[in-house]
Structure 1
């Protein structure tokens, strides 16, 4: 794909939409957006008419549902066409959007997140920038909120939103490792407030506070808040939280040691 060419863009990190090669947003009917999202979620695998019908309407679909699917496919085919190339192809196996024939924000997001994970041990500044670029692709906090009445798309949206949480964690982790504690602290504090049952956000907040000279706040106020949300409200154990508090009270202040304690804890409460 040449960088100087204008390609149609499909977006699902927010409401489902297509921006044509001219840059204009293309209006799509609700069921057409569902067909598009199902094809994007298939990640290059063909999806048959029957699969699309069952996903959108279920077993009690109207008799003309296959015709409606074919009509939506014609609309989408025109929308994602780039010059003489066809991004949406048809075969005996079904319909397929070729991943390299148009720009899909979810595909790019996953690529950037993978790159950030690869870079962060040796290049935390670069990893932070890459994670930030990945998060900038999101238009709001939810993926595909306009089509999640389709069960498979609801599951795909939940998966993408979990990856967004991981990108947020990577951005904060990389910022802390590169010494940008003052930049990381407000972000991770807000994330812990918005998602109080994710242990990793609380761990990162405690480390950010400790590294910025707020050790008492980290080991008392923040620890009690985190324990309330993670243990008292859910009835679960939070070993990573308690281990981090012990290490902070023991006097461990090495950024490397504290960040290792974060990366060793992978559990979050749903």
Structure 2
């Protein structure tokens, strides 16, 4: 099952199961509940709100039957029912979002003790994503929109971990284009600019880091948002001063906020 992209079920042979939109909403709500039972009434309220049709409970039960048919022999293990409602058993099914969080936690534990291992693990976590957004097909459901935003924030953190761990392990030429792309895509996130400046400096592009990139970052972080962005100015001073180790430069990044807007 996948929610790191459009909501989907894949059979063991890799074939994607076709599901109607409302059925995908039911699946996503169960996955997001992460093992907690969700009643028919909760599903109805989440999907239809105040405009729910009179036969909405029957529609939910129909969608559950479809999901169980899609899961086939895994039904009793992955989609059990109790008096409290339906639930996905997290320890008995493969869900990309669950695995993503596990890998991200592992990458955080490994860095900075094992930066190369942390980079590999963060890369594996990011490879689970099938698009730029989580659940773009069902985010009209308020609770799913909030969960999608949370997952996308975790994705930013995984990207950050990958770049930091790559720089720490000496993979500067791998980290540099990734850091540049992240800064371009998310110009209001200070840490991405700091990572780019450090990556450029470690690649022998000190002038570019402390002048061109610094001015671009200051334009987005200070002029457009009206904030001070002290981490940006502090890093520029340290790069111009020289003598700082890679570890010390990376510590300056992790001491700065992840986002300013």
Normalising by the smaller structure, the TM-score range is: over 0.9
Q: What is the CA deviation profile of residues 180-203 of structure 1, one whole-angstrom value per residue up to 9, with x for unaligned ones? A: 111100111011011101101000
- What is the TM-score of this pair, normalised by structure 1? 0.94
1:55-204 equivalences under 5 Å are: 55-82=46-73, 85-204=76-195
Q: Which of 2, 8, 17 is equivalent to 2:8?
A: 17
* Paired residues of 2:68 and 2:75 also in contact (CA < 8 A): no
Return the alpha-carbon distance in structure 2 between the equivalents of residues 104 and 45 of structure 1. Answer: 15
**Where does structure 2 lack aligned partners over 5 or more consecutive residues?**
none
Aligned counterpart, 2:215 = 224
Return the alpha-carbon distance in structure 2 between the equivalents of residues 198 and 106 of structure 1. Answer: 23
Return the alpha-carbon distance in structure 1 between the equivalents of residues 140 and 192 of structure 2. Answer: 29
Q: What is the CA deviation profile of residues 127-154 of structure 1, one whole-angstrom value per residue up to 9, with x for unaligned ones? A: 0000000000000110000000111100
* Paired residues of 1:202 and 1:226 also in contact (CA < 8 A): yes
Q: Which has the higher helix share?
A: 2
* Paired residues of 1:131 and 1:168 also in contact (CA < 8 A): yes
Aligned counterpart, 1:248 = 239
Aligned counterpart, 1:29 = 20
Return the alpha-carbon distance in structure 2 between the equivalents of residues 65 and 251 of structure 1. Answer: 66
Return the alpha-carbon distance in structure 1 between the equivalents of residues 258 and 231 of structure 2. Answer: 9
Q: Equivalent residue of 1:103, what SS?
A: coil
Q: CA deviation at 1:81?
A: 3.7
Count of equivalent residues:
261
Q: What is the CA deviation profile of residues 167-220 of structure 1, one whole-angstrom value per residue up to 9, with x for unaligned ones? A: 000000000000111110011101101110110100000000111111111111
* Paired residues of 2:38 and 2:86 also in contact (CA < 8 A): yes
Q: Which of 34, 52, 58 is equivalent to 1:43?
A: 34
Aligned counterpart, 1:239 = 230
Aligned counterpart, 1:265 = 256
* Paired residues of 2:40 and 2:85 also in contact (CA < 8 A): yes
Q: Equivalent residue of 2:160, what SS?
A: helix
Return the alpha-carbon distance in structure 2 between the equivalents of residues 255 and 86 of structure 1. Answer: 48
**Where does structure 1 lack aligned partners over 5 or more consecutive residues?**
1-9
Q: CA deviation at 1:84?
A: 7.4
Confirm whether residue 207 of structure 1 aligns to residue 198 of structure 2. yes
Q: CA deviation at 1:83?
A: 5.3
Distance 1:85 1:52, change over 3 A: closer
* Paired residues of 1:81 and 1:87 also in contact (CA < 8 A): no
Q: Equivalent residue of 2:87, what SS?
A: strand
